[in-house]
């Protein structure tokens, strides 16, 4: 199960990165970016759930807190992206990338903590 959890977490990184940077490069929020955000959220939630099931001693509290916050931010990001895409103005779709980059950077914190913990 550990291998599957690691694969899901890394897929989350790939999907989320493609979505965020693809949206940034295109200059506007498109349907495909929303799909990548959702795939990243699904993979991260799945991988995190699997990792939590494997944790025996409660794990690292900082990793748990930042990871939980990152999942919540990813959910807010995906919901906001959907609202902006379908009800927002062209300007709001164009400016959405600022929020995307912030969430992506904050998501990387627990990801990198997890990578660091796996090296110990």
Instruction: Please give the pLDDT value at position 53.
Output: 78
Contact indicator for 23, 97 with CB cutoff of 8 Å? yes
Q: Express each pLDDT in 11-21 by its tens digit.
A: 999 999 999 99
**Closest Cα to residue 91, out of 24, 19, 27?**
27
Q: Express each pLDDT in 68-96 by its tens digit.
A: 899 999 999 999 999 998 988 888 887 88
Phi, psi of 59 (to 5 degrees): 70, -165
Per the structure, the count of domains in the chain is 1
Q: Express each pLDDT in 55-73 by its tens digit.
A: 666 667 777 788 889 999 9
Domain that includes residue 77, residue range: 2-119
Through-space distance between the first and last CA atoms of the chain, rounded to whole angstroms: 20
pTM of the model: 0.87
């Amino acid at each position: 199960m550990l291998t599957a959890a690691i694969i899901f977490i890394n897929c989350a990184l790939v999907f989320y990165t493609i979505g965020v940077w693809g949206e940034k490069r295109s200059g506007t929020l498109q349907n495909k970016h929303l799909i990548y955000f959702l795939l990243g959220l699904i993979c991260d939630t799945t991988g995190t759930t699997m990792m939590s099931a494997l944790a025996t001693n409660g794990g690292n509290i900082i990793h748990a807190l930042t990871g939980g916050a990152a999942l919540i931010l990813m959910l807010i990001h995906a919901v906001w992206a959907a609202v902006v895409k379908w009800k927002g103005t062209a300007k709001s779709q164009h400016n959405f990338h600022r929020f995307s980059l912030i969430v992506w950077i904050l998501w990387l914190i627990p990801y990198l903590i997890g990578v660091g913990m796996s090296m110990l």
